[in-house]
Each structure stands twice: as C-alpha cells, then as structure tokens.
Chains A and B, each alone.
Chain A
Amino acid sequence: MDIFIQQLVNGLVLGSIYALVALGYTMVYGILELINFAHGEVTMIGAMVALTVIGVLMGAAPDLPGVVVVLAGILVAIPACMALAFAIEKIAYRPLRKAPRLAPLITAIGVSIILQNLAMLIWGRQYISFPALLPVARFHFLGASISLLQIVIVVLALVIMAGLWLLVEKSRLGRAMRATAQSREVAQLMGVNVDRVISATFIIGAAIAAIAGVMVSAYYGLAHYYMGFMLGLKAFSAAVLGGIGNIAGAMLGGLLLGVIEALGAGYIGDITGGFLGSHYQDVFAFFVLIGVLVFRPSGLLGERVANRA
C-alpha cells in the first residue's frame, strides 16, 4: 500500500508535467490539425535556457536565494520559448498551410532535428545537472514520502491549467481560438485575425512548455539536448489518449499516462511474476494507449467524429 501511494504521487507529478506539454500539442492540433513535432524540443530549449540563466546568476550573485534564481531562469526561458515558437510557426508552418497534410509534418520533424542539433552545438552532448537551489523539505503522507518540489510542480501545473481554461473559455482571444478551431474560413469572415490567433496559440503553448521544461529538469535534476524527444512523444501520446484537440482531454490524458506509467513501473514485475522488469515502463504506457484507442478511437474525451465524406 505504501508503494501504491508513493507511485501514485510520483505518477501525478510526472503526469502533470506531461499534461502541460500535451496542452501545447493539443491546442495546435485543434486549430491546424498539425502534429507539432518540434514542441518537445521547445520544452527542451526552455529547460536549457533556464539552466544557463541559473548558472550565470549563481556565478554573478552567489548570495541570491535559490528560489529567486530559479524563478529568474523561468522568467527568461518563457519569452525565449515564445519567440522561438513564433519563429517556427512563421518560417516552417505558415507557408505550408495550404499544402498536403503531411508536408508540415515533415517540416516539423525537420525543425525538431534542427533544434536538437543546435542545442547539442550550444550546450554540448553531456548531461547538465540542475543545481541544488530549491529547498528539499519532505513530507510524509500515508507512508509515502513527498518532496516540496513535487507539491509545487503539481500545484503550479494545476494553476496553469486553470488559467489556460479561463483564457480559452472566457477571454476574447480564447473565443477567437475556439472559433478558428471550428472553422478557419468562417472565423475569418467574422473578423477574426486568424494568423494572429494561430501565432498566439503557438506562443501560449510554448510558454507553458518552457515552464514544463524547467519542472522536468528540476524534478530529475538533469537536462540534456535529447530530453525533449521522449518527453514530447509521451506528451503527444497523452494528448491523443485524452482526445486530441480537446484541452480537458490533454490534462486528463497527461495525468492518466503519468499515473499508469508510475504504477506500471512499480507493479509490472509483480503482475508478470518477474517476467518483465521495470524497464518495460514505456511498453506499459503504449499498451494502455493502444488499448484505449482500440475501444475509443477518438480518445477518452474526444468527440466522436461521424463517418462523413
């Protein structure tokens, strides 16, 4: 039981990070029907930029409290990622908006390769460790040990999700985004500046991704130029699991995938009688994903698309 609670907590932490990244995928998909493959790399760049700023600040002002240093890192990473996402959309996706569906997918993959290798050139091939700046208080709850960082990650993620939900449901920009997702042409006729809305979607997703990137590197204590790939893949799976294009679905899918993965890693050995070890964690997540999609082809919260021509 202790293990269960512990893994559940770990899963929720991981899941809230997945959910944040998944939001970026699902928002872009909802409007453009494009798998923005480069989104995972944007997350990675967020982590890298934040770590660079943190490193510089620690050298320049060693007396600053750790929390302030990390916050400064996040505050630089967010606009950096926003600018990056804006540029990516403008250069790689916008010219292809009327092209066959797979063309922007290929440029997305190309951008992803470019960002990964650029990051490798700038930050090197080695793992960069996240300095121990944050307080390491631990709480004990029902036999599970929970760190302050884990609580902060989950709470912050929930706040961001609530904020995004408010933005999409209540604000003028959110209404324009929903209209554009329904029909780009009609939204345009109603006076929505579609190009600006699409840019805004990318930028908001990137801002959230930057925070998620810092979270993930703080949580694991590591950052690496390749970290965005698997994270992006998992997050995209989470978005699909919840029903891609659906914001609540991305949140649900992310949390669920994180929990499934953590529980799977904890119990897969027992379930299979020691036949499969915890390195099958990823398999577990994919099996669940496939299982869900076989029975609910448009994800958990996705709308059932009628068979229409």
Chain B
Amino acid sequence: MKRVLDSLRRRPRLAFALLTVLLAALPFIMGFGLGNSWVRVLDFVLLYVLLAIGLNIVVGYAGLLDLGYIAFYALGAYLYAWLASPHFGLHLPFWVVLPIGAAFAGLFGVLLGAPTLRLRGDYLAIVTLGFGEIIRIFMNNLNAPFNLTNGPQGMNLIDPVRIATFSFGKPLHFHGLTLPPTYFYYYLFLAFTLLAIFIALRLQDSRIGRAWAAIREDEVAAAAMGINTRNLKLLAFAMGATFGGLAGGLFAAFQGFISPESFTLWESILVLCMIVLGGMGNIPGVILGAILLTMIPEALRYIGDLQRATLGHVVVDPSDLRMLLFGVALVSMMLFRPAGLLPSRQRKREFAAENGVAEQEQASLYDAKA
C-alpha cells in the first residue's frame, strides 16, 4: 500500500487522473455496490466536507473557537427557502439564490463576529454558542406575528436545483436505468467542494493565511508585527460563514425541506469534532474527519444485521446503540491520536516540541539545584 502511494506521489499526473476517475465513478460504485441510500450518504459527506472546510478557516486557521457555526448553515438554508419556495411565492434560480445566501451568511458572520473581537478562547466559544442558539430559537418561533420561518414545522416544497431545463428534482430514466436525484447532486456538491478545497488551500499559504496563523499563535505579537488583527479576525468569520451559507443553500435545495431541527448545537459540535479529529488546520485531515464522522453513524446502522447474524436476534435496538458507539469512537480516536488523524506538519512539530521544551525546562531546573 505504502509503495503504491509512494509511486503515485512521484507521478502526480497519474494520481490526479486516478483520483478524477474515482471521484467521478464513486456514486455508481456505491450505488450499485451498497444501494442507492449510500449515494445520499455521499452527498451528505460532501456537504459536511464543505462545512468542515469553512469552520476550519475560523478554528483551524485563525484559532477562533466557534461553537455556533451551524447558524450560518441555517441562514443559508433559510434564505434559499425564502427565495425559492412557495412560502413567499418566489422562485428564483439557484445560481442567483446561492450567492445571495452565501453573502447573507457572510454578512451575519461579520455582524456576529464584531462584538466578540475582544474575547478570547472559551469566552468566545460560549458567545458563539449563544449566537447559534439565538438564531435557532428565532427560526423556531418566527411564525408569529408574521410567518417568516413557519416555526417548528419548517419550510417545505423548496425548489430543487434546475440548470437550463434539467431539474435535479426528478429521477432520470436512461436506457432502462433509473438514476435518482442524489446522483446529480453528488456532482454538483463535488464541484462546490472542490472549489472550496482549492480556495482553502490557496488561502492557507497566502498573506492572509499566514496572518491568521500569526494571530492564532500569538495575537499580541501578530498585532505588534503590524497585522490588523481586527479586520483579519472579521475576515475569518466572514469567510467561514460564507462557506457555511453556501452549504446551507445546497442543503435546502437537496432536501426540499428544512426545519430548525437540522440546525441544533449538536450539529455545530459535530462539525467541530470533524476538524479536530481529522487534524485541525490541515485540509486533508479535515476532509478525512468529515468523511469518517459522516460515514461511521451510517455504517453503524448495520449493527442490527450484525446482531442478527451473530446472536440470532436483535438484542439492543441499533438506533439506540448507534450514537453510543459513535461516542466511543470519538473518545478512542482522540485518545490514540490527540493531534488528529492527519495533523498539519506545523502542528505535529509543535506537538513534538512541547514535550521537548518541558524536558529542557526540567533539565535546567535540576541544574540549578545541583
């Protein structure tokens, strides 16, 4: 396996071609191999990758712990629903609505980021968490006095994505083959995810990305070096929120139905877990984290079958066990790889250095004694 990977690393073009073929064929492999429900899971994997990449800008790059990230996802989704559903009778095309939704979420990112600029660490975490909850509670209750969000019932009949005359909402029949909408959304989401990955990778090494890293490591020193910390922190919030809003719009079009249920604090925490588990600040790690944490709960649906096969009957309801095992997986993965599964090179160095520094300090202490 390692040899194959090494030889691929030496032939980037071949690797790129293989990856392209794999990504293009993936829904068909999953769909025909495991069933069409797995194509839907793939779609969600891509949405979560998009979300994780967005949150990684805020948490991984700029070091601002945000526990209310899902609010931007919600804003993007609700804006899509307002502009493209029977709720207000508006049916704008998705390429108009998506950018508006992303910009709307980005604007809220700045609005919510502004009061938090002076806060550090966990104070920031609790304030962002509060904002996330406030937005969810408003979504839940703004069906009166005027019906903006339809309250806990949520909004449905949201328009599917439509490109020219081709609607993503209906299955396609082709030579006796039926392709459900999940296939088309896969390619749409893939395009957006690849774009997001590209932007995030380019950002990382840019002037802005380096400034964020400086703020993350030491805000005072960064400010002393002439970095405008206020604007850059706001920019991080705005960019992260924009990705969140984009993912939210895609989610609304894909599901056709949204309700405040989908935007709870647990979702924010889940996305945060993805990036910490995968390896914060490192894009491949973040992607891996999003893939794992979306797939594991789905794969755990099979424990019912597993129990039937090994014990003869279902002892514990699999849906009850699923989240329990998810928690166990989260804890054990973190215990084995505290820096994440694929830590960034810099973080790996820091992690190694920390122990070294401690030993050095200890050594000098003993020297003083002797």
Q: Which residues of B contact A118 (CB under 8 A)?
A: 324
Q: Does B18 contact A (CB under 8 A)?
A: no
Q: Which of B125-150 contact A (CB under 8 A)?
A: 125-127, 129-131, 133-134, 137-138, 140-141, 144-145
Beta-carbon contact of B331 and A110 below 8 Å = yes
Q: Does A294 contact B (CB under 8 A)?
A: yes
- Interface 1/0s, chain A 251-294, versus B by CB < 8 A? 00000000000000000000000111101101100110110011
Q: Which residues of B contact A117 (CB under 8 A)?
A: 320-321, 323-324, 327
- A29-B122, A102-B65, A282-B137 are known contacts. Are A290 and B327 too (CB-CB below 8 A)? no
Beta-carbon contact of A103 and B123 below 8 Å = no
Beta-carbon contact of A293 and B127 below 8 Å = yes
Within the complex, the shortest CB–CB distance from A86 to chain B, in Å, comes to 16
Q: Does B273 contact A (CB under 8 A)?
A: yes
Within the complex, the shortest CB–CB distance from B147 to chain A, in Å, comes to 14
Within the complex, the shortest CB–CB distance from B49 to chain A, in Å, comes to 18
Q: Which residues of A contact B239 (CB under 8 A)?
A: none
Chain B residue with the shortest CB-CB distance to A115: B327
- Interface 1/0s, chain A 284-309, versus B by CB < 8 A? 00110110011001110000010111
Q: Which residues of B contact A308 (CB under 8 A)?
A: 220
Q: Which residues of A contact B323 (CB under 8 A)?
A: 113, 116-117
Beta-carbon contact of A106 and B334 below 8 Å = yes
Chain B residue with the shortest CB-CB distance to A302: B123
Q: Does A12 contact B (CB under 8 A)?
A: no
Within the complex, the shortest CB–CB distance from B187 to chain A, in Å, comes to 32
Within the complex, the shortest CB–CB distance from B285 to chain A, in Å, comes to 13
Q: Does B277 contact A (CB under 8 A)?
A: yes
Q: Does A150 contact B (CB under 8 A)?
A: no
Bound form: Cα–Cα A308–B220 in Å: 7
Q: Does A109 contact B (CB under 8 A)?
A: yes
Beta-carbon contact of B126 and A289 below 8 Å = yes
Tell me the dominant secondary structure on chain B's binding face: helix
Q: Which of A107-160 contact B (CB under 8 A)?
A: 107, 109-114, 116-118, 120-121
Q: Which residues of A contact B144 (CB under 8 A)?
A: 277
Bound form: Cα–Cα A299–B119 in Å: 10
Beta-carbon contact of A299 and B123 below 8 Å = yes
Bound form: Cα–Cα A283–B127 in Å: 12
- A277-B141, A290-B131, A308-B220 are known contacts. Are A114 and B126 too (CB-CB below 8 A)? no
Q: Does A98 contact B (CB under 8 A)?
A: yes
Within the complex, the shortest CB–CB distance from B242 to chain A, in Å, comes to 22
Q: Which residues of B contact A104 (CB under 8 A)?
A: 334
> What is the number of residues of chain A that contact chain B, defined by CB distance less than 8 Å?
53
Chain B residue with the shortest CB-CB distance to A103: B338
Beta-carbon contact of A99 and B339 below 8 Å = yes
Q: Does B351 contact A (CB under 8 A)?
A: yes
- A35-B125, A92-B335, A293-B123 are known contacts. Are A107 and B130 too (CB-CB below 8 A)? no
Q: Which of A117, A275, A305 has the most CB of B within 10 A?
A: A117
- A98-B355, A297-B119 are known contacts. Are A113 and B330 too (CB-CB below 8 A)? yes
Beta-carbon contact of A107 and B324 below 8 Å = no
Q: Which residues of A contact B277 (CB under 8 A)?
A: 106
Beta-carbon contact of B127 and A289 below 8 Å = yes
Bound form: Cα–Cα A274–B145 in Å: 9
Bound form: Cα–Cα A297–B354 in Å: 29
Q: Which residues of B contact A191 (CB under 8 A)?
A: none
Beta-carbon contact of A110 and B347 below 8 Å = no
Bound form: Cα–Cα A102–B339 in Å: 9
Q: Does B120 contact A (CB under 8 A)?
A: yes
The 8 nearest A-B residue pairs measured at CB = A113-B327, A99-B338, A110-B330, A286-B130, A114-B327, A110-B331, A117-B324, A103-B338
Beta-carbon contact of B331 and A92 below 8 Å = yes
Q: Which residues of B contact A116 (CB under 8 A)?
A: 323
- Interface 1/0s, chain A 179-192, versus B by CB < 8 A? 00000000000000
Beta-carbon contact of A240 and B126 below 8 Å = yes
Bound form: Cα–Cα A116–B220 in Å: 40
12 more A-B residue pairs beyond the given contacts A100-B339, A114-B328, A283-B138, with a C-beta to C-beta distance below 8 A: A96-B334, A105-B276, A107-B334, A109-B330, A117-B324, A240-B126, A280-B141, A283-B134, A286-B134, A290-B127, A290-B130, A294-B115
Within the complex, the shortest CB–CB distance from A153 to chain B, in Å, comes to 25
Q: Which residues of A contact B347 (CB under 8 A)?
A: 100
Beta-carbon contact of B122 and A111 below 8 Å = no
- Interface 1/0s, chain B 46-73, versus A by CB < 8 A? 0000000000000100000100000000
Bound form: Cα–Cα A95–B332 in Å: 11
Q: Does A236 contact B (CB under 8 A)?
A: yes
Within 8 Å by CB of A236, from B118, B126, B141, B351, lies B126
Q: Which of B141, B221, B321, B331 has the most CB of A within 10 A?
A: B331
- Interface 1/0s, chain B 267-309, versus A by CB < 8 A? 0010011001100100000000000000000000000000000
Q: Which residues of A contact B276 (CB under 8 A)?
A: 102-103, 105-106
Beta-carbon contact of A103 and B339 below 8 Å = yes
Q: Which residues of A contact B321 (CB under 8 A)?
A: 117, 121
Q: Does A201 contact B (CB under 8 A)?
A: no
Chain A residue with the shortest CB-CB distance to B118: A297
Q: Does A244 contact B (CB under 8 A)?
A: yes
Q: Does B34 contact A (CB under 8 A)?
A: no
Q: Which residues of B contact A100 (CB under 8 A)?
A: 280, 338-339, 347, 351
